Amino acid sequence: MSDFRFFKTHRTWEDWCGMLLGVLIVLSPWFPMQGDHGVVDAERSFVILNTFTVGILVFGLAQLEYVALQRWEHVAEILLGLWLIASPYVFGYSGHGLLRFWHPSLGGLVVLLAALQLWQDWDLSDDDMLKHGQ
């Protein structure tokens, strides 16, 4: 019998993983082997600004979950992850370099982690959510 209970409780390591994902998203335009010189500099600046903004928001929401857990934080992370998945198509770099793979992958991980946390916290009362991490 598997230990499915492990996934039923929101643990603090999940918040730390969310913070790590935020840092990875911020650093993703500079990952090795990018070779993404086909994108014009003005377009690349939008890509970097978008990536930086999404990464900082994911990092900040994960930190906020660690301190004061609320359901809206999970929903916001899901929306940010979906935006990161769509970003290569919105900004037109879906045919260039490795960011077209990195951003949907990292966005998918953010969505999965946030959905897991939302599922874990769905039946908790507000008082129980405030006790998270203590």
The 10s digit of each residue's pLDDT in 11-37 is 778 889 999 999 999 998 887 655 545
Where are the domains positioned within the chain?
39-130
Query: Do residues 24 and 106 lie in contact, with contact meaning Cβ atoms separated by under 8 Å?
Result: yes
| Amino acid code (one letter) for 86 | A
Among residues 12, 27, 19, which one has the least CA distance to residue 77? 19
* Residues 65-75 pLDDT 10s: 888 778 888 99
pTM above 0.85, yes or no: no
Q: What is the pLDDT at residue 58?
A: 96
| Amino acid code (one letter) for 107 | G
119 has pLDDT over 60: yes
